[in-house]
A and B are shown apart, each in its own frame.
Chain A
Amino acid sequence: MIKAVLVLNTQGKPRLAKFYEFQSVEKQHDAIRNVFSVLCSRPEHVSNFVDAESFFGPDSRLVYKHFATLYFVFIFDSSENELAMLDLIQVLVETLDKCFRNVCELDIVFNYSKMHTILDEIILGGQVLETSSNEVMKAIEEISRLESASKAINLVPKSVSGWRSQ
């Protein structure tokens, strides 16, 4: 089970925080601060796996990847495999790269709802749903098409009421 997904920038500001098991808001903030204090002091040439028991309780491990100005962090328990989680971070980043052209931190800041939609297509309730970025892209396009259709439906009542007033 995946316990949390965090996207932090290199100054420690969280850009995305998704917790799949309940924690109070103060605990969430403490966890994000602890995760960043561990990551920023970690050298480049060691492995990307950290023991996360001190801030996420027993049976917790942490996998991170560092892209440009962002850290992508997954916290999970022993039922998941570390290398599989590393691949899942890659799938998430590939999907973001396909959704936003030349994806950067500003895209995550300004398109947070799309960001959460992408994450929900990959992970739901702490379980991995999809590991193919093409399938996730199809689902995202379908959702965008449905949103456009719902906007078009909103135009019909105005024309109906305009017709009635004639």
Chain B
Amino acid sequence: MSIEDNGGLRVLAINILGRFLSNCDNNIRFISFSFITLMVATWIGQNQKIRLMVVEINLRGDGAERLRERGRAKAPE
């Protein structure tokens, strides 16, 4: 998060976290959700893409719901 403003690195980071989100392991999805929450708070400009990603994850059912219920990772509004 402390790396200076660089559009290419941001897009690369979001793509990598998206790939982690599509993993079926709940641990890896939890970590990527946490980091995406941090990125949303830091980089507002990428919010649209992250929203689509999170909506897609929510459609898969219980895993993402439980992550959100725990309150550690909150999906953007």
Whether B27 contacts A49 by the Cβ 8 Å rule is: yes
A83→B62 contact, CB < 8 A: no
**Residues of chain B from 24 to 77 with CB closer than 8 A to chain A in the complex:** 26-31, 62-63, 66-67, 70, 72
Closest A residue to B20 by CB, please name it: A83
Are B30 and A47 in contact, with the CB atoms below 8 A? Answer: yes
Chain A residues closer than 8 Å to B70, beta-carbon distance: 51
Chain B residues whose C-beta falls within 8 Å of the C-beta of A51 in the assembled complex: 70, 72
Given contacts A46-B66, A47-B67, A51-B72, contact A83 B26 (CB under 8 A): no
A86 at interface (Cβ–Cβ under 8 A)? yes
B62 with A49: CB separation less than 8 A: no
- Complex-state Cα separation, A81 to B28, whole angstroms: 12
Of all chain B residues, which has the CB nearest A43?
Answer: B66
Shortest Cβ distance from B33 into A: residue? A47
A151 within 8 A of B: no
Interface string of A45-80 (1 = CB under 8 A from B): 111110100000000000000000000000000000
List A contacts of B72 (CB < 8 A).
49, 51
3 cross-chain pairs, A with B, having the tightest CB-CB distances, nearest first: A47-B26, A47-B30, A47-B27
What would be 11 A-B contacts, judged by CB atoms less than 8 Å apart? A45-B62, A45-B63, A46-B26, A46-B66, A47-B27, A48-B27, A49-B27, A51-B70, A51-B72, A82-B27, A83-B28
Residues of A bordering B, CB below 8 Å: 45-49, 51, 81-83, 86
Sample of 17 further A-B pairs with CB below 8 A, known A47-B29, A49-B30, A83-B28: A45-B26, A45-B62, A45-B63, A46-B63, A46-B66, A47-B26, A47-B30, A47-B67, A48-B26, A48-B27, A49-B27, A49-B72, A82-B27, A82-B30, A82-B31, A83-B27, A83-B31
